[in-house]
Amino acid sequence: MTTFVMVHGAWHGGWCWRKLAQSLKVPGSDLYTPTLTGLGERAHLASPDIDLETHICDVLGVLETDDLRDVVLVGHSYAGIVVSAAADRAAGRVARVIYLDAIVPRDGQCLYDCASAQAKDYFEEQARVGGEGWRIPASAATVQFLGLKEEKDVSWVMPRLTAHPIRTFREPVKLSASFPQVPRTYVNCIGDKALGQPKSAQAADIEDYHELRTGHDAMVTAPDDVAELLSRIAEDTTA
């Protein structure tokens, strides 16, 4: 049986995997889509105290409480940092990590270390002006950044986004000297570009590399394609 644990990115919640869950058809598979503290339906828990460690513990809690084994751990966008740390600490429970257009950190790096200086300045300014200094308002996640083109996707995603705790972007991740301890896959969402693009900087150290011609929120814009690819990767992992 394949067990998927899918972790959403900034501003999102477990809800964002709903369309993908309907498309993901792996016989005997099990799917977990936790919502990180302070986001989605857990937005009422938002506070300035939420940091990267909070979100890592959210994922570890799912793995440990449900005693999950041979997990295919999927992280989208910001959650690439979260799943990296979770897989490092719980390597005995994880069969593979899949980065879906995600950040791939090295030890001691924070999200800002993996993004442009312009992005850092933008998020910090957004938090200062519209987030009381401790959270990045949902309005910072634009339709263009998420790669949403169809009105049905825009109208479904945008109202559900919630402010994101900024400490999670600032805090460096702590990875062991043994990282990575499990196989890794990178899925690069290249938009309308032709297949065969140069690897992104995030994917540079990952051999198992795939491309999807869709936007950043691929689980929304191309759920069937993402589901087919994840199913194939999972089958290769457990074969």
Catalytic amino acids? 77
* φ and ψ of 74, to 5 deg: -110, 130
What's the CA gap between 42 and 34, in Å, rounded?
A: 10
- From start to end of 68-148, where are the E strands? 71-76, 94-100, 135-136
User: Closest Cα to residue 216, out of 183, 238, 185, 191?
Assistant: 191
What's the CA gap between 45 and 43, in Å, rounded?
A: 5
CA angle 215/219/225 to nearest 5° reads: 85
